[in-house]
């Protein structure tokens, strides 16, 4: 799934100066409200003191595209990269900002000045020390128009960046910026290796050098990536010696590997969660978790297509799709229908928006008003030129929920005279050849939901460019103004009004048919200890997971 970042964002309070590394007060309770049902997990009794050693094998549907984080927008790349790099700040289990590579920071002048002090002694895995010059290099790289990144806007809001010492720097803004601290939760890149490199052709996209808890040991394209523990990691050696990401582009095959012991962790499908992982053996050998994910799935339209350029058509399709049926059929009920880009139940989600009622008759009426009628009696609508309303929904291979969603939508649209074909494409080609190039009619995809409501990179008109995250081509001056206002407003009540208005525009214009927020359903071998669900999921403390020595399948000291 595409992801702006897999980390979650918080609202920042800039109304007073902060020092140390407690950071601004977060809104963890808001995150918890999104779960319509409580998070569930199998209980686990403690088994002793943590010991180093062991291997964890995880499955990913798509292969990473690039292990230089700013250059990748896919979740597979970011999932791996988060174990390779560090950032000044990060998010804890309650989705609150905390220090990471920074030992402290200050927020001054009502948020227009940030000061950071890095921890000395952090080293890149080639032995060179990480300093403030690396942060400065990363900042300059992000604002360089030659850098092909979708994440530049937060850095462009900076008025000046000044290195004030070997381990210190300060950042100035001309006005308060709601995402100022969030910006510095982005990965730091190594100046001594990447300076002067052609980022699109550098070897470091596949041979990264970071300062994180793990290093890339090997990468077999199409098969797996192997990460080795960084024994010199500045926060202390992670317990697990080796992390293996197996690339398995099919959920059914992935589940067979899970049952055979070929992988230790995966995201279950609803069918697997409800019906295929029950019984004494499963209860003894595995732990299952369930919580509403920070993600949503949508049907996105190419707004340049003659099929979807008329808003009446998009509204008609919203009336023609029964989201409850999609949730029941694709998720077996393990999800929540949604109407916008925020997690249901959180403070930024607009509860006052009434979704389009399932009404096929009204859908056909709106389509007729837009010029689509069955003119030749074949059961398919045509426009005045005789062109049939027939389009293709594109999605990625291996995602059973998206394919089932497409199939249900195909059937429901056929009932109003719209013919839909479904095509699935391997992940890397899907992104590179279709999404990035705008080469599609419509697609079913998902986004990670950020805890901060700023959605500039996905929805602002300036991001509707090749390779940009606004790949459906949504352009709306009113929405642009709200997005710009929202990122420079720090009062939560005022931001609520701004983003409610923004959601109303999306609801009215329907560039996406927002479908559902699914439940996250991870399963993990019970060999792994110190694992618990939190608002941030289960991997927030991954470096502290461990395996009892008698259950370890791999050790560096062997």
Nearest CA to 258 out of 242, 271, 270, 272 is that of: 272
Q: Compute the distance between CA of residue 394 and CA of residue 424 in angstroms, rounded to an integer.
A: 6
Structural contact between residues 37 and 333, judged by C-beta atoms closer than 8 angstroms: no
Q: Compute the distance between CA of residue 425 and CA of residue 417 in angstroms, rounded to an integer.
A: 26
Tell me which of 15-19, 101-105, 236-240, 475-479 is least confident. 15-19
Question: What is residue 42's three-state secondary structure?
Answer: coil
Residue 273 inside a domain? The answer is: no
Q: What is residue 428's predicted lDDT score, i.e. its pLDDT?
A: 83
What does the block give as tokens for 554? 């791999």
Average pLDDT over residues 281-309: 96
pLDDT over 60 (residue 43): no
Helices (H), 311-393: 311-320, 323-331, 360-369
| CB neighbour class for 33 (10 Å; exposed up to 12, middle 13-18, buried from 19) | middle
pLDDT over 90 (residue 449): no
What does the block give as tokens for 297? 């799935």
Residue 279 inside a domain? The answer is: no
pLDDT over 50 (residue 106): yes
Q: What is residue 452's predicted lDDT score, i.e. its pLDDT?
A: 85
pLDDT over 70 (residue 555): no
Question: Same domain for 122 and 204?
Answer: yes
Question: Same domain for 544 and 492?
Answer: no
Question: Same domain for 480 and 391?
Answer: yes
Question: Same domain for 210 and 325?
Answer: no
Residue 512 inside a domain? The answer is: yes
Question: Same domain for 451 and 482?
Answer: yes
Q: Rounded mean pLDDT of the chain?
A: 90
Residue 281 inside a domain? The answer is: no
Question: Same domain for 454 and 509?
Answer: yes
Question: Same domain for 149 and 201?
Answer: yes
**Domain CATH number, residue 478:** 3.10.105.10
Q: What is residue 228's predicted lDDT score, i.e. its pLDDT?
A: 98
Question: Same domain for 364 and 463?
Answer: yes
| Higher-confidence position of 110 and 496 | 496
The CB density around residue 215, as the number of other CB atoms within 10 Å, is: 22
pLDDT over 60 (residue 157): yes
Q: Compute the distance between CA of residue 209 and CA of residue 190 in angstroms, rounded to an integer.
A: 7
Q: Compute the distance between CA of residue 101 and CA of residue 188 in angstroms, rounded to an integer.
A: 9
Q: What is residue 150's predicted lDDT score, i.e. its pLDDT?
A: 83
pLDDT over 60 (residue 40): no
Residue 290 inside a domain? The answer is: no
Reported confidence tier of residue 76, pLDDT bands at 50, 70, 90 = confident
Residue 360 inside a domain? The answer is: yes
Residue 8 inside a domain? The answer is: yes
| CB neighbour class for 431 (10 Å; exposed up to 12, middle 13-18, buried from 19) | buried
Domain range spanning residue 189? 1-268+521-558
Structural contact between residues 483 and 455, judged by C-beta atoms closer than 8 angstroms: yes
- CA-CA distances (angstroms) from residue 554 to 236, 242, 481, 524? 20, 8, 55, 17
Planar angle of CA 31, 33, 38, nearest 5 degrees: 105
**Domain CATH number, residue 206:** 3.40.190.10
Tell me which of 16-20, 307-311, 364-368 is least confident. 16-20
| Higher-confidence position of 26 and 299 | 299
pLDDT over 60 (residue 29): no
Reported confidence tier of residue 450, pLDDT bands at 50, 70, 90 = confident
Q: What percent of the chain has pLDDT over 90?
A: 79
Q: Does the pTM of the predicted model rise above 0.85?
A: no
Match 């803004």 to its residue by tokens: 173
Reported confidence tier of residue 491, pLDDT bands at 50, 70, 90 = confident
Question: Same domain for 219 and 337?
Answer: no
Average pLDDT over residues 329-343: 96
Question: Same domain for 202 and 336?
Answer: no
pLDDT over 90 (residue 19): no
Average pLDDT over residues 33-48: 52
Average pLDDT over residues 225-252: 95
Q: What is residue 35's predicted lDDT score, i.e. its pLDDT?
A: 41
Residue 284 inside a domain? The answer is: no
Reported confidence tier of residue 113, pLDDT bands at 50, 70, 90 = very high
Question: Same domain for 15 and 131?
Answer: yes
Task: Specify the pairing of strand 286-292 against strand 522-525.
Answer: antiparallel
Domain count, the chain: 2
pLDDT over 80 (residue 6): no
Average pLDDT over residues 35-40: 46
Average pLDDT over residues 512-521: 97
Question: Same domain for 460 and 541?
Answer: no
Q: What is residue 89's predicted lDDT score, i.e. its pLDDT?
A: 97
pLDDT over 50 (residue 194): yes
Average pLDDT over residues 9-22: 36
Structural contact between residues 420 and 317, judged by C-beta atoms closer than 8 angstroms: no
| CB neighbour class for 41 (10 Å; exposed up to 12, middle 13-18, buried from 19) | middle
Q: What is residue 557's predicted lDDT score, i.e. its pLDDT?
A: 56
Q: What is residue 4's predicted lDDT score, i.e. its pLDDT?
A: 34
Q: What is residue 554's predicted lDDT score, i.e. its pLDDT?
A: 73
Q: Compute the distance between CA of residue 361 and CA of residue 371 in angstroms, rounded to an integer.
A: 15
Reported confidence tier of residue 24, pLDDT bands at 50, 70, 90 = very low
Reported confidence tier of residue 535, pLDDT bands at 50, 70, 90 = confident
């Amino acid at each position: 799934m595409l992801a702006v970042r897999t980390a979650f964002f918080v609202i920042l309070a800039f109304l007073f100066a902060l020092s140390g590394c407690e950071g601004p007060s977060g809104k963890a309770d808001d995150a918890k409200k999104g779960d319509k049902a409580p998070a569930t997990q199998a209980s686990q009794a403690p088994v002793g003191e943590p010991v180093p050693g062991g291997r964890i094998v995880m499955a990913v549907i798509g292969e990473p595209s690039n292990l230089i984080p700013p250059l990748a927008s896919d979740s597979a790349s970011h999932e791996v990269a988060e174990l390779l790099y560090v950032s000044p700040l990060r998010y804890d289990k309650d989705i609150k900002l905390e220090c990471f590579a920074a030992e402290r920071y200050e927020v001054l002048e009502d948020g227009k000045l940030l000061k950071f002090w890095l921890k000395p002694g952090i080293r890149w895995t080639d032995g060179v020390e990480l300093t403030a010059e690396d942060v400065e290099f990363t900042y300059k790289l992000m604002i360089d128009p030659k850098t092909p990144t979708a994440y530049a806007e937060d850095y462009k809001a900076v008025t000046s960046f000044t290195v004030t010492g070997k381990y210190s720097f300060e950042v100035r803004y001309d006005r308060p910026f709601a995402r100022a601290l969030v910006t510095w939760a982005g990965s730091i890149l190594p100046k001594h290796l990447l300076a002067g490199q052609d980022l699109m052709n550098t070897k470091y996209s596949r041979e990264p050098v970071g300062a994180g808890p793990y290093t890339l040991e090997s990468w077999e394209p199409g098969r797996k990536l192997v990460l080795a523990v960084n024994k010199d990691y500045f926060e202390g050696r992670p317990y697990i010696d080796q992390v293996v990401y197996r690339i398995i582009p099919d959920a059914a095959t992935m589940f067979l590997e899970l049952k055979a012991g070929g992988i230790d962790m995966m995201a279950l499908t609803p069918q697997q969660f409800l019906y295929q992982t029950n019984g004494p053996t499963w209860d003894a050998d595995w732990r299952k978790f369930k919580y509403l994910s920070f993600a949503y799935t949508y049907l996105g339209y190419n707004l340049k297509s003659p099929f979807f350029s008329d808003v009446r058509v998009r509204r008609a399709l919203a009336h023609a799709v029964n989201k409850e049926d999609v949730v029941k059929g694709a998720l077996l009920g393990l999800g929540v229908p949604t109407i916008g880009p925020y997690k249901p139940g959180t403070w930024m989600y607009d509860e006052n928006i009434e979704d389009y009622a399932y009404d096929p008759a009204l859908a056909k009426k709106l389509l007729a008003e837009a010029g689509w009628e069955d003119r030749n009696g074949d059961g398919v609508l045509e426009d005045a030129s005789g062109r049939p309303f027939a389009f293709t929904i594109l999605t990625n291979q291996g995602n059973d929920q998206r394919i089932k969603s497409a199939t249900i939508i195909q059937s429901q649209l056929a009932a109003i005279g719209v013919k839909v074909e479904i095509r699935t494409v391997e992940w890397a080609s899907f992104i590179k050849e279709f999404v990035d190039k705008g080469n599609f009619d419509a697609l079913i995809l998902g986004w990670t939901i950020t805890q901060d409501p700023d959605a500039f990179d996905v929805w602002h008109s300036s991001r509707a460019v090749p390779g940009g995250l606004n790949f459906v081509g949504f352009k709306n001056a009113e929405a642009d103004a709200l997005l710009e206002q929202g990122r420079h407003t720090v009062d939560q009540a005022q931001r609520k009004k701004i983003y409610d208005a923004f959601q109303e525009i999306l609801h009215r214009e329907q560039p996406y048919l927002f479908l559902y927020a699914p439940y996250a359903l991870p399963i993990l071998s019970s060999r792994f200890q110190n694992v618990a669900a939190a608002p941030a999921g289960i991997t927030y403390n991954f470096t502290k997971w461990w395996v009892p020595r008698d259950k370890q399948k791999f050790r560096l000291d062997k």
